[in-house]
Amino acid sequence: MSDRRTARKSIVAVISTPPPITGQATAGRILTNALAAQRIEHHVVSTASSIDDQTSSARKALRSVRQAARLARLRPSTPTVLYLQLGQGPSSIIRDTAFLTVAATRRWSVVGHVHGGGWRTGLDATPAPVRSTYLRLLKRAEVLIALTPRLTAMFDGVFDGETGGASTGPRIEVIGNSVEEDLATRALAGGASWSAEPTVAFVSNLMPEKGVDVVIEAARLAHDQGRAFRFVLAGHDPHGRATSLPPNARWAGVVADDAKFELLASAQVFVLPTSYRVEGEPISILEALHVGLPVVSSDQGGVADIVDETNGRLINPIDAEALLDAIDALTSDRSRWEAMSANNRRQAAECHSPNRHLEQLFATLGFQNPT
């Protein structure tokens, strides 16, 4: 093991990178920054597309062919690992089949990482001939990574009956997400503070599946009922959800870096009532925990592995009244809020720090720890 981890290697990273700013792209940037800091030879093929991408299937297929051709032209100077953020829909699985074919031809080792919870559903919807080829190629991977323990279930039995008839497949590991270094460092120095008139933060892309409509409805209800809650929404707004907000709500636009930290630190609770079909372990929730915010979310994807009664509440994601009640329960008692806030900051620093995330990921990729 020590020889494997200290040997010189190259990384070919097929990942999403900003823009746009998404959880998966943020994870990709965390990795590439660390590879650059450690002076590890690496090559990046970005699979990012705009949030409201309407590209036809044919054009997506052509784009995938071009990306795979770019991959095939690479000539790393050392033994190579393909680190692949695995797609979660039929078109992206077709794309990944091309990348995996290049890796098999070049005899690169493979580490696949699913940054979400919809991989199995996407696999089942993929045409059978492509699915079979994809699984035969993916079976040669050393490791497949899920974000949380419950998300490992999507790999159950998936390689049964593949090449050779064996039921074994790649090793399955759990490596949780992280926040970026700057936010983690600022959070160690200070975070949110209690207020008798709580501010509720929603930081995500303003897609219906992320719960933005429920948050806006909760804001309207709070205004109508005279509840002393203020709402701040931030993120890309592809469908114009922020054009008609009640008086107690505002849209902060797309926030990043210092602006994101300041917004979170000015709030008292974070909400993400997500029903996003490929939800994994939202980095936005981890950011909120680092800053010390209690979290209101839903049992979707791997969220229930990081949110429970000790740090927030899980609710029905379409129930605006339940959202308001959870906000009230988490902010009405100052001493309880302060205890939960301190615990959230401590747990986030211990379990979801950049160092912890990168130590685990670098070990899986076969490198020495980046610390």
Q: Which residues contact 300 (CB under 8 A, 6 or more apart)?
A: 117, 274, 275, 276, 279, 317
Distance CA 370, CA 140 (A): 27
pLDDT 10s digits, 37-73? 999 999 998 887 765 555 555 676 677 777 777 778 8
- Structure confidence at residue 3 as a pLDDT band (50, 70, 90): very low
How do strand 109-113 and strand 143-146 relate by DSSP bridges? Answer: parallel
Q: Is the pLDDT of residue 229 over 70?
A: yes
DSSP tag of 53: -
Question: Where is 94: in which H helix or E strand?
Answer: helix 90-106
Distance CA 319, CA 83 (A): 39
pLDDT of residue 6: 42
DSSP tag of 52: T
CB atoms within 10 A of CB 184: 20
- Structure confidence at residue 74 as a pLDDT band (50, 70, 90): confident
CATH code, 2-178+354-365: 3.40.50.2000
How do strand 199-203 and strand 269-272 relate by DSSP bridges? Answer: parallel
pLDDT of residue 205: 92
Structural contact between residues 188 and 363, judged by C-beta atoms closer than 8 angstroms: no
Over residues 148-155, the mean pLDDT reads 96
pLDDT of residue 1: 30
pLDDT of residue 54: 57
Domains 2-178+354-365 and 181-351 share a fold: yes
Instruction: Enumerate the domain spans of the chain.
Output: 2-178+354-365, 181-351
DSSP tag of 201: E
pLDDT 10s digits, 87-127? 999 988 998 999 999 999 999 999 999 999 999 999 999 99
- Please give the model's pTM, rounded to 2 decimal places: 0.91
pLDDT of residue 50: 60
* CATH superfamily of this structure's domain 181-351: Glycogen Phosphorylase B; (3.40.50.2000)
Least confident of 88-92, 182-186, 321-325: 88-92
DSSP tag of 197: S
